[in-house]
């Protein structure tokens, strides 16, 4: 029979458990783990490509509700810790309409926005998209800046967007704000941003094979020779 001290020690190293509801079923999981780890802990097979665990891939969009708050909220499962009495489920892929376009062929990108995403100007200013964003981006403001042609501001505002898509299903105007922002950011880069001086020249030199011999020489170096070359360059 175990002594009282051993029993207390065993109990001390046992993780504290909390009760959560995952996709309608009740489970006991260790306190403090993320929703993603709770899914794994309960044996669920997460197959939608989630795995960065750092809030960067956007593949673990999740609906959740806490014990004493009836409001359903959104988060990334890799970045939210479980709470006792919490209910949550993965957000299914949303069938947002994704416009097809060739950035190089666009003649007037700011006007073309209204043909590619005609719903963009129909924003009702409800701000649901901003509230749903796990990256704290002012999504509503970004949509309006895109509509008014301020693509530069849009590209800067959405720098942290991980394309989780949480802003889309909550939009009462059927806008896909993340896709509108993606288009504006791409158009800004291709059509309205000055290229670094000499970039086109260097790209052409690479295409013409100017550095092929140098590249072949580097590829034949041993690890020791490569380290020595790198150290000498410093």
Which residues, 6 or more positions from 177, have their beta carbon under 8 angstroms from its beta carbon? 129, 139, 140, 142, 143, 167, 168, 171
Cβ 151 vs Cβ 188: under 8 Å? yes
Mean pLDDT over the full length of the chain:
91
Using CA atoms, how far apart are residues 203 and 218, in angstroms rounded to an integer? 19
The owner of tokens 């020489």 is 217
Q: Map out the domains of the chain with their CATH numbers.
A: 4-90 (3.10.20.30), 103-192 (1.10.1060.10), 199-233 (no CATH)
Using CA atoms, how far apart are residues 181 and 208, in angstroms rounded to an integer? 35
Q: What percent of the chain has pLDDT over 90?
A: 75
| pTM summary value | 0.75
| pLDDT for the residue numbered 48 | 65
> What average pLDDT does range 30-44 have in this prediction?
94
| pLDDT for the residue numbered 233 | 73
List, in sequence order, the alpha helices (H) in the chain: 4-13, 35-41, 109-116, 128-132, 139-147, 151-157, 177-187, 199-207, 212-219, 223-233
Q: Tens of pLDDT along 1-27?
A: 555 555 455 555 678 999 999 999 999
Please check the confidence at residue 42 and state whether its pLDDT lies above 60: yes
Using CA atoms, how far apart are residues 194 and 59, in angstroms rounded to an integer? 33
| pLDDT for the residue numbered 179 | 98
> What average pLDDT does range 117-146 have in this prediction?
97
| Phi, psi of 180, deg, nearest 5 | -60, -45
Using CA atoms, how far apart are residues 28 and 60, in angstroms rounded to an integer? 21
Q: How far is CA 20 from CA 79, 82, 133, 143, 161, in A?
A: 16, 8, 23, 36, 29
Q: Tens of pLDDT along 66-123?
A: 999 999 999 999 999 999 999 999 998 899 999 999 999 999 999 999 999 999 999 9
Q: Is the dihedral of CA 125, 126, 130, 132 positive or negative?
A: negative
Polymer length of the chain: 234
* Exposure of 179 in the CB half-sphere (CA atoms within 13 A): 21
| pLDDT for the residue numbered 54 | 84
| pLDDT for the residue numbered 47 | 60
pLDDT band at 194 (very low <50, low <70, confident <90, very high): confident
| pLDDT for the residue numbered 4 | 59
| pLDDT for the residue numbered 230 | 78
Which residues, 6 or more positions from 59, have their beta carbon under 8 angstroms from its beta carbon? 48, 49, 50, 51, 52, 164
Please check the confidence at residue 186 and state whether its pLDDT lies above 60: yes
* Exposure of 67 in the CB half-sphere (CA atoms within 13 A): 7
Of 71-80, 131-140, 163-172, 189-198, the one with minimum mean pLDDT is: 189-198
């Amino acid at each position: 029979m175990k002594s009282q001290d051993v029993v207390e020690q065993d109990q001390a190293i046992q993780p504290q458990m909390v009760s959560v509801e995952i996709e309608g079923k009740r489970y006991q999981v260790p306190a403090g783990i993320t929703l993603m780890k709770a899914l794994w802990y309960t044996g669920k097979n997460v197959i939608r490509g989630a795995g960065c665990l750092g809030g960067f891939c956007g593949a673990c969009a999740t609906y959740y509700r806490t014990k004493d708050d009836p409001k359903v909220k959104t988060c990334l499962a890799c970045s939210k810790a479980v709470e006792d009495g919490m209910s949550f489920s993965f957000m299914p892929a949303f069938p947002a309409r994704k416009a097809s376009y060739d950035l190089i062929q666009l003649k007037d990108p700011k006007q073309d926005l209204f043909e590619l995403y005609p719903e963009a100007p129909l924003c009702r200013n409800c701000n649901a998209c901003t509230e749903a964003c796990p990256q704290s981006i002012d999504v509503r403001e970004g949509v309006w800046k895109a509509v008014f042609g301020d693509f530069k501001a849009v590209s800067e505002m959405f720098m942290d967007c991980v394309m989780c898509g949480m802003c889309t299903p909550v939009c009462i105007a059927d806008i896909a704000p993340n896709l509108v922002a993606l288009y504006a950011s791409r158009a800004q880069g291709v059509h309205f941003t000055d290229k670094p001086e000499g970039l086109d020249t260097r790209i052409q030199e690479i295409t013409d094979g100017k550095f092929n011999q140098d590249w072949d020489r580097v590829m034949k170096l041993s690890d020791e020779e490569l380290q020595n070359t790198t150290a000498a360059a410093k």
